[in-house]
Amino acid sequence: MGYKSLFFLYFWACFQICNLTAQPLLKPKLARTQWWVAPYDQVLEDASVIYPLDPKTAYEILMILLQRAQKDRLPQWIFETYRAKGLFLEKQLAYSAALEQYFLAAESIKKIDYQRFAMVQIDIAIIYRSLYRYSEARNVYFSLIDYCVQHNDTLNLLNAQGGLGNLFSTVNDTKNAIRYFQKALQLCRDMHHSANECVYLDNLAEAFGMQKQFKEAFEHIELACQLADRERDIGSKIPLYERYARLYAEVGDLKQAFEKINAGLELAKQNKFIGDYNNLTITKAELYLKQQNPDSAIVAFKTIDEKLISVNSLNKVYYELGKIYEQKKELHLAETYFVKGQELANKYQALRYNEWNHRALYGVYRLQNKPTAALFHLERANTLHDSLFNYEKSGQVTELQFRYDLAQSEQQLQEAQMKANRHQMGLGAVIALLIIALLVFGYFWQRKQNEWLMLKHEAIRLQKEQLESFNQEILTKNQAIELQKQLLEASNGLLQTSKTQLEAFNQEILTKNQAIEAQKQLLEMSNTMLQQSNGMLQQFNYAVAHDLREPLRNISSFVTLIQRRYLKDLPPTAVSYFDFVITGATRMSKMLEGLLKYSMMSMNQITDIEPLNLRDIIQEVKDSLRLICEEKNATILYPDVMPNLYINKIHLTQLIQNLTSNALKFATRTPVIEMGCESIENKLLFFIKDNGIGINAESGKKLFNLFHRLHRDSSQFEGTGVGLALCKGIVEKYGGKIWFESVEGEGTTFWMQFPNSVN
């Protein structure tokens, strides 16, 4: 059995009892002796079946199940047992005791199963709301939303947003309630979860009704009915008739209200939804009372099956029947129902109904001239009233404090936003001034660099001429040596007499060799200077790419000015020509911007290398791309734990951001981007995978070339063709390599491998 089924196992039995059948209550499948040995799911199912009739035995079963789970070290079943106890206690309105069980359940599963942990957090928030601890409930929901987003748990995210809607509805903040119900509704539609969509449409109808916006209320309940009909979801549609009836009653149209109730009752009866049938019957009785028709209300109330109704609803039925009989002066029957209601309310600690029943019995006994009994119930009613007054007063104070804190939070948020905007404007002005100063300094510095570069070129030319002259001299000396050897061979007879001269000549050769070695060193120095000159040329390219953008901007500006001032005097052909000029200038500017970035990367030396955690850099890139991610509803996935990479932070950020931006840009459906890394043979292999349009194998051969673009149509996909060339330059700067694998129409994976000296 899957864990999702286990979450709701004990609800299943109750659902079968209350909604799905009109047969007698289900019986437990196991004998008492089997509770210690039978499978866990069967034992929990038995506890759920027994609970409505015998809560004490149900608790005994849960204690046995908890002991077994602790002995067998099964955290999931420890969680299920604690949560089942919490649910049973919550149904008995023992909220504080239920909260303790939910805390135990959360602690037992927190580090093992994040979905179960999220579920029990929702239970805890509901209990906080029932205990008037609204701020704590809100904090739980907000923390849970962040937790669900982090773990991509959409189902519990839906429940958290819906729970916030119910919380704000409880404190009569219908504006925020509607906002969170709408968020939950949109998430239901994204998940194609029609049953929950009906629920939140119903909640929105109720919220709009509370604001007396009946047009919007009827629109939402009508949408819910249409959805239930389209999905053939009878279980979702039947409760909607009750909302319809209550809305019609609110606007004073009792005829339409009765028609909706009768339609719902007929549908529930045909499909044997007994629980919904009882709820609709109670609503129908209330409509009769509103119509001043108590006899019909009595008939409706007495058709309800008391075994298949919730405690709160049964309390309401008993109390309303007692009040009707009291008005009809049938005091004996009134007493009977008030006593039954008082016993039920006392058993399940329903303090409000307990007070009402005691006060009603006081009135009945006073009319029957039973002063002793009347006085007893009056004292009990007053005692309960004082307790409830203090409790509800505390709840009202908590509600006011909650709404005050919420208003303060919103005000502080607005003030912080305004302050941040002012700081941003000031910072922008400072940055603009710094950029202007840097541009002026760069211009004069570049002029000096050009002059120095010309001097260096002249020095290299002179050194080259000297080197050629010296090489010619060496060649001449070598020829002389060869001639001397020939003379020595021809003059063997004169060897002894010329020995001294030969030694002197050898010494001269040694001296010449030393001179050659010195020339080699001079040549190496020349090569070094040549490399420096190449670096200066790269800086020159950077300056060209930077300074050429200014004329392009002038061209674009003046062409735009001509169009704006003389548009009516220009022929259509000239207007289109000007559009071509502006388009070309814009594209040229973007290409020069790309060349500028490429030149900067080429000129930069590898400095400020530090150990950077890949996950931190990915998170920074994700934050910087947050707007486009939200616009495209993109998902970026990466492991919780990733290794460090020794690299310059700017280079690594630029590498990941370029590849991630491409993945977002070249996507025709909802982007899903996956990142990861692994170590293979002491090398770090890092990849970025997307579900975009893919790359054609033929056109991908020039993918990393400067200014190469796969799509010439810039109206569909913008770009200059510099980004991937820049990525290749960064990876190769650190001795690595980059390549890609792609399936056209399905997506692309870029691979980057870094050597041992980097990872």
CA 620 to chain CA centroid, nearest Å: 15
pLDDT at 20 over 50: no
Give per-residue pLDDT as tens, 706-728. Answer: 666 665 555 555 666 677 888 98
| Predicted TM-score (pTM) above 0.75 | no
∠ CA(372), CA(377), CA(382), 5° rounding?
125
Q: Provide the pLDDT confidence category of residue 670 given band limits of 50, 70 and 90.
A: very high
Beta-strand runs (E) in 496-608: none
- Joined together, the tokens standing for residue 176 give 């925020």
Give per-residue pLDDT as tens, 444-456.
777 777 777 677 6
Q: What is the mean pLDDT of residues 664-693?
A: 89
Among residues 235, 161, 233, the alpha carbon closest in space to that of 203 is found at: 161
CA angle 99, 103, 109 (to 5 degrees): 145
Higher pLDDT residue, 665 or 25? 665
Residue 636, pLDDT score: 93
Angle subtended at Cα 195 by Cα 191 and Cα 196, rounded to the nearest 5 degrees: 65
Averaged over 297-316, what is the pLDDT? Answer: 78
Position of tokens 């008030």? 338
Q: Over the stretch 67-113, which tens digit does the pLDDT of each residue have?
A: 998 898 999 998 999 999 888 888 777 888 889 999 998 898 888 88
- For residue 447, how many other CB atoms are within 10 A of its CB? 11
Nearest to 219 by CA among 234, 202, 235: 202
C-alpha dihedral, 42 to 47 to 53 to 54, nearest 10°: 130
Q: Which fold has domain 608-754?
A: Heat Shock Protein 90 (3.30.565)
Domain boundaries, the chain: 393-490+498-547, 608-754
What is the model's pLDDT at position 50? 80
Tokens of 478: 């070598």
Q: Do the beta carbons of residue 77 and residue 65 sit within 8 Å?
A: yes
Which tokens sit at 650?
């700017």
Q: Which of 247, 268, 150 is nearest to 202 (CA)?
A: 247
| Residues counted in the chain | 759
State what percent of residues in the chain have pLDDT above 90. 7
* Whole-angstrom distance, CA of residue 406 vs CA of residue 735: 55
Closest CA to 353 of 394, 384, 327: 384
Task: Read off the pLDDT band of 676 (50, 70, 90).
Answer: very high
Taking phi first (over 0 means left), then psi (-120 to 50 degrees means alpha), and beta for anything else, what does residue 745 get?
Answer: left
* Residue 580, pLDDT score: 67
Type of residue numbered 358 = H
Our measurement of the distance from residue 576's CA atom to the centroid of its chain's CA atoms, rounded to an integer in Å, reads 46
The first and second tokens of residue 361, run together, are: 């019995």
Is residue 662 within 8 Å of residue 711, measured between CB atoms? no
End-to-end CA distance of the chain: 44
Strands 683-689 and 672-680, by their bridges, are antiparallel
